[in-house]
């Protein structure tokens, strides 16, 4: 008996744990699916806002590449949801079958018990059963037996009611799961058709590009050379500042400071620690935007033989979008490169955030800024209508992947 109860409880525990695990995974997938759908909506909104301008094939391909990746991920996540629902439906169907069989057995046994109770009631009544006891102790035990038997009958009746209700609820849940799965499959079919249309559009543009690949490759290389030139300019500014900070501390023989790192005051150290403590939670530098180019080395979408080395991320945003400081700090430098728009460097201890392609500035060097404070506007190209913000993060002179720092980048 005890072993049976132990097995039942263990089975119930495993089923409940599995159910919670499945439910948690389903919520996680649904949240991811919503994020991807929102991302696609943002891309479509930005593309629509720039439609009046003649965009280059390079820009169109960059937009489509990102859109295709997001839609492919959306389809993948939706498929995972549908597959998970299939497993949940199969599990629930098995449970329903087992519960239905158990309920059927309970009803049969309950009927037999009532029938036996009725027969016993006809053969001898309760009083005679008690009076026929050999002694008081036996009579007392018989009273206990009658009461326990009555309680057991009542308990069995309640158990049948509860299991009947649980079975009805399980059936309703199963119907809801089947309907959700049907809706997911229908949505995925629409997404698949849209994806195929976008792939055809992508191939048509690429076909046009391939006819004059050298021209477009040259444009990509020139853009990469310009980005590298600015990267080197920022890198030199940071390294020179590190050297200057170490020189200022050289008289303090009690401290040894690496020449590759900023020599920080106690206040600057506290700010750097706060910045580090918010890793993965920092706000986006623009309120609305999609990533057109991610951090690190990657092949060009136009010519895979050309490698792009990105020290940050390239964010496509709306016209006149406000640029925001991602954390408390000080406007450390405002750089005005040749043939380019201003770059703002904000210092957070030994961390630096860089905001490139600013069209209008709201701040000046030395200003203290707070998280989400507007520091300027993104420059909008009059030629193609694009508003692109290049955003980078440095720890001393080393670049960081912004996706590791910015919330849900």
- How does residue 350 score in pLDDT terms, banded at 50, 70 and 90? very high
Report how far residue 335's alpha carbon sits from residue 390's, in angstroms, rounded to the nearest whole number.
14
Q: Give the per-residue pLDDT at 65.
A: 87
Q: Give the per-residue pLDDT at 14.
A: 47
Q: Give the per-residue pLDDT at 9.
A: 46
Fold of the domain spanning 2-210: Helix Hairpins (1.10.287)
Q: CATH topology of 2-210 equal to that of 228-404? A: no
Judged by DSSP in three states, 294 sits in coil
- How does residue 145 score in pLDDT terms, banded at 50, 70 and 90? low
Contacts 24+ apart (CB under 8 A), 176-183: 177/85, 177/88, 177/89, 177/92, 178/89, 180/85, 181/82, 181/85, 181/86, 181/89
Q: Give the per-residue pLDDT at 149.
A: 64
**Top-tier CATH class for 228-404:** mainly beta
Residue with the larger pLDDT of the pair 159 and 34: 34
Does the structure show a pLDDT above 70 at 166?
Answer: yes
Does the structure show a pLDDT above 80 at 312?
Answer: yes
Per residue in 213-248, pLDDT (tens digit) is: 898 889 889 989 999 999 999 999 999 999 998 887
Whether the Cβ atoms of residue 302 and residue 322 lie closer than 8 Å to each other: no
Residue with the larger pLDDT of the pair 248 and 88: 88
Q: What does the domain layout of the chain look like in residue ranges?
A: 2-210, 228-404
Phi, psi at 318, each rounded to 5°: -85, 165
What's the Cα-to-Cα distance from 268 to each of 218, 302, 347, 348, 352, rounded to whole Å?
44, 43, 9, 7, 12
- How does residue 11 score in pLDDT terms, banded at 50, 70 and 90? low
Q: Give the per-residue pLDDT at 52.
A: 52
Closest CA to 353 of 332, 322, 380: 332
Q: Give the per-residue pLDDT at 143.
A: 67
Does the structure show a pLDDT above 80 at 113?
Answer: no
Whose tokens are 């406007």? That residue is 331
Does the structure show a pLDDT above 70 at 194?
Answer: yes
- How does residue 18 score in pLDDT terms, banded at 50, 70 and 90? very low
Judged by DSSP in three states, 339 sits in coil
Alpha helices of 124-253 — where are they, by DSSP H? 126-131, 136-210, 213-249
Does the structure show a pLDDT above 90 at 353?
Answer: yes
- How does residue 96 score in pLDDT terms, banded at 50, 70 and 90? confident
| Residues above pLDDT 90, as percent of the chain | 44
Average pLDDT, the chain: 84
Does the structure show a pLDDT above 60 at 109?
Answer: yes
Q: Give the per-residue pLDDT at 21.
A: 59
Q: Give the per-residue pLDDT at 6.
A: 46
Residue with the larger pLDDT of the pair 70 and 14: 70
Report how far residue 360's alpha carbon sits from residue 322's, in angstroms, rounded to the nearest whole number.
9
Does the structure show a pLDDT above 80 at 139?
Answer: no
Q: Could you say which DSSP state residue 85 is in? A: H
Per residue in 172-191, pLDDT (tens digit) is: 887 888 898 899 899 999 99
Does the structure show a pLDDT above 50 at 63?
Answer: yes
Tell me what the mean pLDDT of segment 76-99 comes to: 85
Does the structure show a pLDDT above 80 at 54?
Answer: no
Distance from the Cα of residue 362 to its chain's centroid: 33
Looking at mean pLDDT, say which of 39-43, 62-66, 77-81 comes out highest: 77-81
Alpha helices of 211-304 — where are they, by DSSP H? 213-249, 266-277
- How does residue 373 score in pLDDT terms, banded at 50, 70 and 90? very high
Tell me what the mean pLDDT of segment 85-108 comes to: 79
Per residue in 320-337, pLDDT (tens digit) is: 999 999 999 999 999 999
Contacts 24+ apart (CB under 8 A), 25-33: 25/84, 26/81, 26/84, 26/85, 26/88, 29/77, 29/80, 29/81, 29/84, 30/81, 32/77, 33/74, 33/77, 33/78, 33/81
Tell me what the mean pLDDT of segment 353-377 comes to: 97
């Amino acid at each position: 008996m005890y072993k049976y109860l132990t097995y039942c409880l263990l089975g119930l525990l495993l089923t409940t744990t599995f159910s919670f695990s499945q439910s948690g995974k389903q919520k996680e997938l649904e949240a991811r699916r919503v994020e991807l759908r929102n991302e696609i909506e943002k891309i479509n909104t930005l593309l629509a806002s720039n439609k009046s301008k003649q965009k280059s094939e390079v820009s169109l391909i960059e937009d489509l590449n990102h859109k295709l990746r997001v839609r492919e991920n959306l389809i993948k996540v939706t498929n995972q949801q549908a597959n998970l629902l299939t497993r949940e439906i199969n599990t629930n169907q098995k449970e329903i079958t087992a519960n239905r069989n158990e309920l059927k057995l309970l009803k049969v046994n309950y009927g037999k018990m009532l029938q036996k109770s009725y027969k016993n009631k006809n053969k001898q009544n309760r009083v005679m059963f008690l009076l026929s006891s050999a002694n008081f102790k036996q009579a007392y035990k018989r009273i206990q037996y009658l009461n326990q038997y009555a309680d057991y009958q009542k308990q069995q009746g309640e158990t049948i009611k509860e299991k009947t209700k649980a079975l009805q609820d399980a059936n309703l849940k199963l119907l809801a799961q089947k309907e959700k799965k049907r809706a997911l499959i229908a949505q995925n079919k629409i997404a698949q058709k849209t994806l195929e249309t976008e792939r055809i559009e992508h191939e048509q543009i690429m076909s046009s590009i391939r006819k004059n690949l050298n021209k477009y490759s040259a444009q990509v290389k020139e853009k990469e050379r310009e980005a590298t030139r600015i990267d080197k300019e920022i890198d030199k500014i940071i390294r020179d500042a590190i050297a200057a900070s170490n020189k200022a501390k050289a008289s303090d023989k009690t401290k040894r400071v690496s020449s590759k790192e900023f020599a920080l005051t106690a206040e600057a150290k506290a700010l750097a620690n706060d910045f580090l403590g918010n890793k993965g939670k920092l706000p986006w530098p623009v309120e609305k935007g999609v990533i057109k180019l991610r951090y690190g080395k990657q092949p060009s979408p136009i010519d895979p033989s050309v490698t792009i080395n990105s020290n940050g991320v390239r964010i496509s945003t709306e016209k006149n979008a406000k640029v925001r400081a991602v954390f408390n700090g000080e406007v450390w430098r405002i750089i005005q490169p040749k043939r380019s728009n201003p770059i703002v460097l904000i210092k957070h201890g030994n961390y630096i955030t860089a905001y490139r392609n600013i069209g209008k500035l709201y701040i000046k060097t030395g200003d203290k800024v707070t998280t989400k404070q507007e520091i300027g506007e993104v420059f909008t190209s009059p030629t193609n209508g694009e508003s692109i913000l290049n955003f980078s993060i440095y720890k001393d002179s080393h670049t960081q992947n912004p996706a590791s720092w910015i919330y849900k980048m």
